[in-house]
Amino acid sequence: MVPVTRTTEAGEANGGSVSRAWRVLVGPPLRFRDLGKEQITPVEGLSALSLDALTSVAYGPEAILVVLAAAGAGALHLMLPITVAIVVLLVLLVFSYRQVIAAYPSGGGAYAVSRANLGTRASLVAAAALVVDYTLTVAVSIAAGVSALRSAFPALSPATLPLCLGILAVIMVLNLRGLGETARAFLLPTLVFIVGVLAIILVGLVHPLGLHEPGPGHSLVPAHGLEVVGVLLVLKAFSAGCSALTGVEAIANGVPLFKSPRVARAKRTELLLGVILAAMLLGLATLATRWHVAPRSGQTVLSQIMADAVGRHWAYFLVSVTITIVLALAANTSFGGLPVLASLLGRDGYLPHLFGLRGDRQVFTYGIVTLAVLAGVLLVAVDGSTQRLIPMFAIGVFTGFTLAQSGLVVHWRRTRPAHWGLRAAFNGLGALVTGAATVIFVVTKFAAGGWVVLVAVPAFIVVFVRIQRYYRAAGRALGLGAIPSKPRPGPITVVVAITGVNRLAELALSQALSVSHDVMALTVVPDEGVGASDRAAALRDEWTRWGPGVPIHILHTQYASVARPIVQFIDHLAEERQQTIMVLLPVVHPSRRRYAILHNHVDRVVAAALAGNDKVVVTRVTFSLDMDRCLEGANVPETSAAAAGPVGPPRGSCPEGSGAPGSA
């Protein structure tokens, strides 16, 4: 649960040690005028919104080879032509999403395009698919990063899941600090990763340094192929390799996160992403084909290519550690995209409205925390295994690709800008290709885990529809959009729950009398226990001597809970008087948070029990205790600190208004 902290200095002072620790983690609150500091540039956009796509070179090429290896070593040469086909699809997607950025600069990507052009049902499919994909992106990125680390340092294998969850927690906290700060923190490892991988490809193409060095592990290619090289195998390898294209849409989803001019900067980032990713995919596929790289136990394909290119020396380990870092940080792509999407869904009533609320750091706190929780559950379910996650990957995002491209075709036909026919044809081709790819994914990945996505997407759609149905019903009940009747004042009875005669009761009754002249006090006395028969009489005598001018009702109970008789009394009173009943609950608030456990919290139980009664208004009055001053110099009689029973007002040097709590 995320701590909620006040933005004022007084609130900060009263927030306690938990609030102060939380503030150290996420940073001080940002003013609205400082929001520009958290917006990003195109280069920062690579680290904030593009790492998912860029780092997919660590598992996309390997996914292709794992499928081809089932047909034996003779099928591995298909790696390069399949990668070329994937790069062609990448080009289509990059130019398509540049158009999405220009047409829908408010963000939302496939959801925004589908909502505007294809209708509600299509937009909900796009939203559900994106939520599933964003969650998988976080899990796959972190798992792949830890896998790369294990390839370089095999001794870390037993700590796979703890490493995954630890990295997830760090990324969540960084994003709670703000996207701009996170992007700048991730910028250096991102640039080292891009330069390092491109340099390794260049060295490998020109003059490899470690080509004939023996590597750890053993080949996973069967001596005799288990599958026949055919169309189905090629399609399976293509669908597996398309996991390298996830994340291409994230920039279009996060356009509002860029500095002005947002559209130009976002389009520049999208193009930059496409060029770098295409160069890395083609370069790695060329080297893998030239060196006959095959899947090996305990080694990723990227690790093998790096070792062959530069040898297992300082450059290899430097890039390996960097790859681990950026793979883990690639989860940040989802943390930049899903909270924005969730805020749009919240605005449209398909998710709780709180997803549209910004925290003190001007980020969508609930979206960030929810994504981290979902990804954490998924990582635990698969024990941090990348290969168990890959079959579920890409189905959701390619569903979004198809809907976004189809929606753009409708958009161009409706708006008819210059050259709209050419644009519509381009997006129509993209829709056909990505739609065909989606069907291939469903068919080839269904048994291996793709069915999970096919179950999760409809489940999210059901949740969206039910939430909106609730909001519509609530809107009708509240009369939203209509002018209500004039407010009508009416009588109100105030019932004050007390525990005895003390300053807490004095404060509560004073507040009650300022609201209404019809005030009554209420307390509960158990019928059993030592001295139980005398407590009611003693309390009534004490009340008479005090004479507050308010009648007191003493309820007797045979149960341990004092909340039950209070609730029953209030329900009966509300039914009898047919008017609003205000229940005032006095609460002691000690100056130190650690003292809170020393007071009972009956107010929470009573308030929860009365929450569903529309004839009852529950409010609290806070009695502040300056315990530091009381403990230093107070000379309070021992009886005033009793935990139960009627006691008189404390006498001593404790400051005015900070008396002993009785049974508060």
SS (H, E, C) 178-194: CHHHHHHHHHHHHHHHH
Is the preceding omega at residue 256 within 30 degrees of 0, hence cis? Answer: no
> Is the pLDDT assigned to residue 112 strictly greater than 70?
yes
Residue-level pLDDT at 331: 76
The DSSP code for 418 is T
Residue-level pLDDT at 582: 92
Residue-level pLDDT at 657: 41
Count CB atoms within 10 A of the CB of residue 27: 14
The DSSP code for 648 is P
Residue-level pLDDT at 642: 32
Percentage of the residues of the chain whose pLDDT score is greater than 70: 83
Distance CA 371, CA 356 (A): 14
- Give the model confidence (pLDDT) of 363-378 as tens digits: 788 899 999 999 999 9
Sign of CA dihedral 110, 112, 113, 116: positive
Count CB atoms within 10 A of the CB of residue 538: 14
Q: Three-class SS of residue 530?
A: coil
388 falls in which pLDDT band (50, 70, 90)?
confident
Sorted by sequence, the CB contacts under 8 Å of residue 581 that are 6+ apart come out as 492, 493, 494, 495, 570, 573, 574, 615, 616, 617
- For the domain spanning 492-641, the CATH number is 3.40.50.620
As a whole number, the mean pLDDT across the chain is 80
The DSSP string of 200-216 is HHHHHHH--SSTTS--S
pTM greater than 0.75 (yes/no): no
Q: Provide the Cα torsion 468, 469, 472, 477; round to 10°.
A: -140
Which range is most confident: 171-180, 473-482, 638-647?
473-482
At CA 611, angle to CA 478 and CA 528, rounded to 5? 165
462 or 154, higher pLDDT? 462
Residue-level pLDDT at 509: 93
Residue-level pLDDT at 530: 54
Distance CA 309, CA 201 (A): 7
Residue pair 586/620 in contact by the 8 Å Cβ criterion: yes
Instruction: Give Cα 316 to chain centroid, integer Å.
Output: 35
- Give the model confidence (pLDDT) of 230-280 as tens digits: 788 888 888 888 878 877 888 887 788 788 888 999 999 999 999 999 999
Residue pair 386/143 in contact by the 8 Å Cβ criterion: yes
| Domains in the chain: boundaries | 26-473, 492-641
Residue-level pLDDT at 198: 92
Distance CA 437, CA 435 (A): 5
Count CB atoms within 10 A of the CB of residue 313: 12
Instruction: Give Cα 561 to chain centroid, integer Å.
Output: 38
Residue-level pLDDT at 351: 92
Residue-level pLDDT at 650: 38
Residue-level pLDDT at 647: 36
292 in the Ramachandran plot: left (φ > 0), alpha (ψ -120 to 50) or beta?
Answer: left
Residue-level pLDDT at 304: 87
Distance CA 266, CA 384 (A): 33
* Mean pLDDT to the nearest integer, 196-212: 87
Residue-level pLDDT at 659: 41
Residue-level pLDDT at 480: 81
| Domains 26-473 and 492-641 alike in fold | no
Radius of gyration of the chain, Cα coordinates, nearest whole angstrom: 32
Sorted by sequence, the CB contacts under 8 Å of residue 259 that are 6+ apart come out as 36, 39, 40, 41, 265
* Mean pLDDT to the nearest integer, 520-537: 76
Helices (H), 254-364: 262-290, 301-310, 314-329, 332-347
Distance CA 592, CA 242 (A): 56
- Give the model confidence (pLDDT) of 619-652 as tens digits: 888 888 765 666 555 444 433 333 333 333 333 3
Q: List 514's β-bridge partners, or say none.
A: none
> Is the pLDDT assigned to residue 7 strictly greater than 70?
no
Distance CA 337, CA 107 (A): 9
Write the single-letter amino acid at 552: I
Residue-level pLDDT at 48: 78
Q: How many CA atoms does the CB half-sphere of 183 hold within 13 Å?
A: 23
> Is the pLDDT assigned to residue 87 strictly greater than 70?
yes
Residue-level pLDDT at 86: 92
- Give the model confidence (pLDDT) of 402-447 as tens digits: 998 899 999 999 988 888 888 898 889 888 988 888 888 888 778 8
Q: Three-class SS of residue 585?
A: strand
Is the preceding omega at residue 261 within 30 degrees of 0, hence cis? Answer: yes
Sorted by sequence, the CB contacts under 8 Å of residue 70 that are 6+ apart come out as 222, 225, 226, 227, 233
> Is the pLDDT assigned to residue 92 strictly greater than 80?
yes
Distance CA 192, CA 574 (A): 70
464 falls in which pLDDT band (50, 70, 90)?
very high
Both tokens assigned to 554: 């003493």
414 class by beta-carbon count within 10 Å (0-12 exposed, 13-18 middle, 19+ buried): exposed
> Is the pLDDT assigned to residue 566 strictly greater than 70?
yes
Residue-level pLDDT at 632: 57
Percentage of the residues of the chain whose pLDDT score is greater than 90: 18
Distance CA 173, CA 24 (A): 11
Q: List 552's β-bridge partners, or say none.
A: 521
Instruction: Kindly list the strands in the beta sheet with 580-590, ordered across the sheet, starting from the edge strand earlier in the chain.
Output: 552-557, 519-526, 492-497, 580-590, 616-625
Q: Provide the Cα torsion 116, 117, 119, 123; round to 10°.
A: -70
Residue pair 588/599 in contact by the 8 Å Cβ criterion: yes
Closest CA to 430 of 100, 206, 147: 100
184 falls in which pLDDT band (50, 70, 90)?
confident
Sign of CA dihedral 27, 31, 33, 36: positive
Domain 26-473 in this protein, CATH class: mainly alpha
* Mean pLDDT to the nearest integer, 267-295: 91
Q: Three-class SS of residue 18?
A: helix
